[in-house]
Amino acid sequence: MRTALLQSSGRPGSVAANLDVLDAAAGRAAAAGAGLLVTPELFLTGYAIGAGLARLAEPADGDAADAIAATATRHGLAVAYGYPERDGDRVHNSVQLVAADGTRLANYRKTHLYGRYERDHFTPGDRPVVQAELPGLTVGLLICYDVEFPENVRAHALAGTDLLLVPTAQPHPFQFVAESLVPVRAFENQLYVAYVNRVGAEGGFEFVGRSVLAGPDGVARARAGRAEELVLADADPVLLTASRAANPYLADRRPGLYGSLI
């Protein structure tokens, strides 16, 4: 599946402007043959907007979800987008996957919140593995800091995830996560990882870009720089099958030895 990574911070604080940015990117991605578009973490509203996160948060079936479903249908591609999710009095840092026909397929709430800023504004989720089916691939969802815990990605590998989508807000000086850690996660778990970052200055953060689609061989199939960019690459089920047959990591596990880890 050709996958498009939208490396952009959009227009922090303006849902309407970000819906327009997403629609334009979806048009470009579809014209390039993409079947899936992935945005960064909290793309719908912006990340460093403080109390604005709670003010702009919407339920998973809110007005913005309807608008993105219309975008997906209009351009004929699936969309995974980051947003603050309202659930009663709680706000979650979430990502929702919408199919090319506008159907809401999956919604994931970030389980590992990073730093005081996130803990002040969000309630952590409690479902470690959320998946959905797209043509030819089982797709899983994580958000940013989640991928830095090897247990999370291994849980997806054991559950059969083929392509792991990771909307991200990765700031300086942690670019090594995108550059080194994410390709290793893809290799050691034998899956594709689409890690899609914000970029530029926002509030007190400086987001480093470097979005990547890493393959099960640890090779970056697409790599963005440090500016706003739309990059595309293929998550190939045939290569994935061959790589899994050649790599013994998952088959050679000895779970009986790992009980002390938990």
Q: Compute the distance between CA of residue 88 and CA of residue 125 in angstroms, rounded to an integer.
A: 14
Q: Compute the distance between CA of residue 66 and CA of residue 258 in angstroms, rounded to an integer.
A: 44
Q: Map out the domains of the chain with their CATH numbers.
A: 2-245 (3.60.110.10)
Amino acid 259: pLDDT: 84
Amino acid 65: pLDDT: 98
User: Looking at 110, 118, 148, 202, which residue is catalytic?
Assistant: 110
Give strand pairing partners of 92: 85
Token couple for 90: 């709680």
The pTM score is 0.97
User: Looking at 41, 58, 85, 148, which residue is catalytic?
Assistant: 41
**What do you get for the CA distance between the two ends of the chain, in Å?**
36
User: Mean pLDDT, 10 residues at a time, over the chain (262 residues)?
Assistant: 98 98 98 98 98 98 98 98 98 98 98 97 98 98 98 97 98 96 98 98 96 98 97 97 96 91 73
Q: Compute the distance between CA of residue 260 and CA of residue 239 in angstroms, rounded to an integer.
A: 35
Cβ neighbours of 79 (radius 10 Å): 27
Q: Compute the distance between CA of residue 182 and CA of residue 147 in angstroms, rounded to an integer.
A: 8
User: Looking at 58, 85, 144, 148, which residue is catalytic?
Assistant: 144
Active site residue 41: yes
Positive or negative, the CA dihedral 43, 110, 123, 204 is negative
